[in-house]
Amino acid sequence: MPPQIFRLVLLTLAIIVSYIIARYLLTPASFGQYGFYRAEALAEAATPEPVFAGRKACLECHEDIQEKLLKGEHKTIGCESCHGVGREHAQNPDVKLGKIGDSGCLRCHEDNGARPAWIKVIVVKDHYRGDKCAGCHVPHQPNEVP
Amino acid sequence: MKHSVSRRQMLATLGGLLAGLASLAAARTARGAVKKVLVTTKAPRGYDPHQHKWLMCFDVDKCIGCGLCVDACKTENHVPAGPMYFRTWIERYIIKKPEPGSGKTRGEVLVDSPNGGRDGFPPTTVPREEILKAFFVPKLCNLCEASPCTQVCPVGATFDAPDGAVLVDPNYCIGCGFCIQACPYGCRFLNPETRVAEKCTLCYHRITRGLKPACVEICPTEARIFGDLKHPVENDPIQAFIQKHRVHTLKPHLGTEPRVLYANLDKEVR
């Protein structure tokens, strides 16, 4: 074999081998398990702890309130929709949830020009303002009047 | 210097190379296995992405524009507070009546989304008598089957997971922003803190634990419906939704085949 061919073969082999070594070192271990990406990224995306506790966690203690809620029009509303994040409270009942002001009600029930017809809305300046919302309405049983 | 390679030498070299290749492959498999044991993530065990196919549905008629979902999403996913960073947001469409005698079906279409709807929507300045109709449209990642964002990623950092979620691998994203331009729905943004592209993950850390995404959990009117196409539960809300409503997707002409379905969608919504 002529020497220049031999050198070319050696060079080609060296390039191929260095490519294979580089590829081996640079490819993440879980690459290709699910597709053309690092499969571990899925597990990493699932790693953070959830913030909102979820309705089931509330029901462990507050089933009575759920029963009331299911009778009225607020039955579709999750606890944390109004009461805010309840994870800490669910783990330690001594941690109290924040108070809900009138703004909590108005977020859904103030007329803003685009609400669907089925939801009851008020125009704040035309509505009775002698008391807080909860003075006349029962949030857990909106159909009832106290 | 004389070079002569005998047949024996050449065969030995080739054989050695082949053996090296084979052992490299084996070493890689072994490394993967070891890494799997040693690298502990807090991710829930036993979640197989091949066993699920997630789907999100919206009933536009049920959305009241309270913006609780936007707030919940930001809280749950620690999304930066600025008004440009949203994984989900709500748009308010106000369609004015046409000018009398203009021969049109509708007048001007006003769309706004103050702070993504996170703080709710202030009363509109458009007088009631001028409004033909108005509604809210919640938006998030459209979970495209043929997702343009994953096609343009130059480093393969974003991908379609087997369960239908489109995710970003933050360790490999270089923050070039191609995917942000490619998404026809505007569902991605560059996180100013991490400098990588970010988007709705369907609350991947929640759904893998059997919880609903935060926006679905918090929505007070069940305008958002979330479910698994591979494991329909009894009285499955997704199946009922598709059966009951005529559903539509956003920008179907783009061929992205979104798996986010909208009921009662108006033609003006883009």
Q: What would the pLDDT profile of A77-110 be if each residue is shown by its tens digit?
A: 999 999 999 889 998 989 888 889 899 999 999 9
The answer to whether residues B204 and B143 touch, using CB atoms and an 8 Å cutoff, is no
User: Is there a domain that residue A115 lies in?
Assistant: yes
User: Is there a domain that residue A63 lies in?
Assistant: yes
Location of structure tokens 């913030």:
A51
How confident is residue A130, by pLDDT bands cut at 50, 70 and 90?
A: confident
pTM of the model: 0.85
Check CB contact under 8 Å for A114 and B136.
yes
pLDDT at B26: 78
Same-domain status, A110 and A83 = no
Q: Is B138 exposed, middle or buried (0-12, 13-18, 19+ CB in 10 A)?
A: buried
CATH topology of domain B46-87+139-270: Alpha-Beta Plaits (3.30.70)
User: Is there a domain that residue A55 lies in?
Assistant: yes
Q: Strand, coil or helix: what is B134?
A: strand
B260-263/B54-59 β-pairing: parallel
* Alpha carbon distance B165, B116 (integer Å): 22
Tens place of pLDDT per residue across chain B (270 aa): 556 778 888 888 888 888 887 787 777 777 666 666 555 555 667 888 999 999 999 999 999 999 999 999 999 999 999 888 999 999 999 999 999 999 999 999 999 999 999 999 999 999 999 999 999 999 999 999 999 999 999 998 999 999 999 999 999 999 999 999 999 999 999 999 999 999 999 999 999 999 999 999 999 999 999 999 998 888 889 999 999 999 999 999 999 999 999 999 999 897
**Interface pTM, i.e. ipTM:** 0.86
Q: Which of B62, B66, B109 is nearest to B90 (CA)?
A: B66
Q: For chain B, how many helices (H) and strands (E)?
A: 7, 11
CA–CA–CA angle B67, B70, B73 (5° rounding): 145
Rounded to 10 deg, the angle between the B7-38 and A3-26 helix axes is 10
Evaluate if residue A146 carries a pLDDT over 70. Answer: no
The answer to whether residues B91 and B256 touch, using CB atoms and an 8 Å cutoff, is no
Chain B CA closest to residue A74: B220
The answer to whether residues A75 and A89 touch, using CB atoms and an 8 Å cutoff, is no
User: Is there a domain that residue A61 lies in?
Assistant: yes
CATH number of the domain encompassing residue A53: 1.10.287
Check CB contact under 8 Å for A80 and B20.
no
Q: What is the pLDDT of residues A29-58, one digit of tens each?
A: 888 888 889 988 999 999 999 999 988 899
Same-domain status, A54 and A94 = yes
- Greatest alpha-carbon pair distance for chain A in Å reads 104
- Total CB pairs under 8 A between chain A and B: 167
User: Is there a domain that residue A145 lies in?
Assistant: no
Check CB contact under 8 Å for A50 and B209.
yes
Q: Which of A52, A117, A130, A97 is nearest to B69 (CA)?
A: A52
**Number of structural domains, chain A?**
3
User: Is there a domain that residue A146 lies in?
Assistant: no
* Alpha carbon distance B213, B73 (integer Å): 8
CA–CA–CA angle A48, A52, A57 (5° rounding): 115
Which candidate from B17, B76, B161 shows the least CB-CB separation from A51? B76
Among positive and negative, which fits the CA dihedral B194, B198, B203, B207? negative
Evaluate if residue A116 carries a pLDDT over 80. Answer: yes
Q: Is B197 exposed, middle or buried (0-12, 13-18, 19+ CB in 10 A)?
A: buried
User: Is there a domain that residue A8 lies in?
Assistant: yes
Mean of pLDDT over chain B: 90
* Alpha carbon distance A89, A72 (integer Å): 25
Q: Which domain holds residue A134?
A: 100-140
